[in-house]
Amino acid sequence: MKNRREFLTTVGAAGAASIFVGSGGTRTSLAAEGTQKLAIDGGTPVRKTSLHSRPYGPQFYDDVEKQELMDVLESKHPFRWWGANSKALQFEQAYAAHIGVKHAIGVTSGTTALYTAMAALGIGPGDEVILPAWTWYADYDAIVLSGALPVFAEIDGSLAIDPDDIESRITPRTKAIVPSHLQGGVADMDPILDIARKHKLRVVEDCAQCCGGRYKGKYVGSIGDIGINSFQLSKTITSGEGGAVTSNDAKLFERAVRFHDVGVIRAPYTESLGGGLLAAFASCNFRMSEFTGAVLKGQLQKLETIGTRLRNNARKVRRGIADLPGLKLRKTPDQEGDLGVTIFLDHGTRQRRDRFLRALRAEGIAASGPGGSVILPTDKRIENKVTLHPDWPSFNTPQGKAIRYGSECCPKTIDIHGRTGGVIMDPNFTDDDLKDIVRAIRKVYLAMRSA
């Protein structure tokens, strides 16, 4: 495609009309677009250098985070409980206020946040917890390490748990559902909550890949009984590692606070929870350091900027390809709340998906299938129930032995995952970058359609 051409996107009453306008003002039809020779076949690529996204949070590091860290260094109090004016506490309070919950506690990672959430809910031996077949290891591992049994449900076209596949997985032993908000997309929470209420189950929101996402006006992490987030490098905002547990339930929060801090509850939580409601119990040490809290306090101030830019960039790309015939994008229950991290297309088959991705990369646009998570039942160590010890109690009960993992328990997930692929957005993509993404998608999509 010639560089002098400009991409013009307009949305008309009859739908989206996206056209290429040449230097002479002539319009290029969809049919003509589809005749362009792809770079993978020897044609001229859209870009000479590859365009790809980078971790979001570090792109926004500046003097704000630097000053917060310097405050900790100069205080000589990196342990959160030894100094006044704790950065970890300030981050927790600001984060809770930002997403609209009563309580938030900072921990060392998203994984430890999940383990803390399980402990807060009292998940243990004999319990079952339903989670999507496509998510991160930590969701599964936190359940297993709590002594409970993971039960996988299929995903749908949103790449989140399919609400229609949950109820058939419920047994008298089911205690909770873990809907993960993956790759910036939000799970369809209303039907999930309806099912949970009907069966008196708890809902744990895993928001690790969707910090700042919203569902029908509410921030993820504020909708279920308890929520978790991760601030690892690949997340919306980051301190390298770090996590948080959120809830509106004082009892769940106190259990979370105690579990993350060797069973104790300290000021200011003794005051905010009326002196503490519960007795101590066997617990862990997942406390957030002041250095982590300092960075996150600074990063939180950039969260809406990052989210707004991601959504705007995704919106521009969607508009630029909206007129493509037969186009099928990733399903979303709330496109405005969706963080806009990915522009995923449903290509119908794995073969067409793989060909599309190879061709898009040849045009200079980084492209991939759904990443950042795993089809867990097909992972060999999960399929074979490998744990810390060969006689792990939960898997050596009749109930545990009866549960079978492997590809046969999630064929729909494997199918959806295999035919989905596209481009990951970046908050700092320029308009020219976005035009190149649109040009490349159109070029490859139409060429493959006419082949």
User: What domains are there in the chain, each with its CATH number?
Assistant: 6-54+303-372+414-450 (3.90.1150.10), 58-302 (3.40.640.10)
Could you tell me which residues are beta bridge partners of residue 11? Answer: 16
What's the whole-model pTM score?
0.93
- Give the pLDDT of residue 84: 86
Residue 239: name the closest of 368, 22, 61, 31 by CA. 61
What average pLDDT is seen over the chain? Answer: 92
- The amino acid present at 188, given as its one-letter code, is D
Beta strands in 263-411 (DSSP E): 342-346, 374-375
Side-chain half-sphere exposure of 448, counting CA atoms within 13 A: 25
DSSP state letters, 372-401: SSEEGGGSHHHHTT--SSTT-GGGGSHHHH
- Give the pLDDT of residue 30: 85
> In a 10 Å sphere around its CB, with 0-12 CB exposed, 13-18 middle and 19+ buried, how is residue 3 labelled?
exposed
Average pLDDT over residues 37-46: 97
Helix (H, G, I), strand (E, B) or coil at 109: coil
- Give how far Cα 231 sits from Cα of 90, 288, 318, Å: 16, 12, 28
- Give the pLDDT of residue 271: 79
CA atoms of 131 and 150, how far apart (whole Å): 7
- Give the pLDDT of residue 450: 82
Are 148 and 125 spatial neighbours (Cβ–Cβ below 8 Å)? yes
- Give the pLDDT of residue 334: 97
Residue with the larger pLDDT of the pair 356 and 5: 356
DSSP one-letter code for 202: E
Mean pLDDT lowest among 15-29, 85-99, 136-150, 200-214: 15-29
Q: Omega of the bond prior to 427 within 30 degrees of 0, cis?
A: no
Joined tokens for residue 73: 């260094």
Could you tell me which residues are beta bridge partners of residue 374? Answer: 135
Question: The dihedral of CA 192, 197, 202, 205: what is its sign?
Answer: positive
pLDDT at 133 over 80: yes
Helix (H, G, I), strand (E, B) or coil at 349: coil
> In a 10 Å sphere around its CB, with 0-12 CB exposed, 13-18 middle and 19+ buried, how is residue 74 labelled?
exposed
- For the chain, give percent helix, strand, coil, nearest 5: 40, 20, 40
pLDDT at 56 over 90: yes
- Give the pLDDT of residue 451: 74
The alpha-carbon radius of gyration of the chain (Å, integer) is: 24
Residue-wise pLDDT for 86-116, tens only, equals 999 999 999 999 999 999 999 999 999 999 9
Question: The dihedral of CA 137, 412, 161, 322: what is its sign?
Answer: positive
CA atoms of 59 and 428, how far apart (whole Å): 8
For residue 52, how many other CB atoms are within 10 A of its CB?
Answer: 14
Helix (H, G, I), strand (E, B) or coil at 260: helix
DSSP one-letter code for 124: -
- Give the pLDDT of residue 77: 96
- Give the pLDDT of residue 259: 97
Q: CB under 8 Å, gap of 24 or more: what pairs does 11-17 form? A: 11/319, 11/322, 15/322, 15/323, 16/319, 16/322, 16/323, 17/323
pLDDT at 1 over 50: no
Residue-wise pLDDT for 16-34, tens only, equals 333 333 333 334 678 788 8
Mean pLDDT lowest among 10-14, 64-68, 234-238, 400-404: 10-14
Residue 290: name the closest of 74, 59, 57 by CA. 74
Are 197 and 177 spatial neighbours (Cβ–Cβ below 8 Å)? no
Residue-wise pLDDT for 156-197, tens only, equals 999 999 999 999 999 999 999 999 999 999 999 999 999 999
- Give how far Cα 115 sits from Cα of 121, 225, 249, Å: 10, 15, 17
pLDDT at 203 over 70: yes
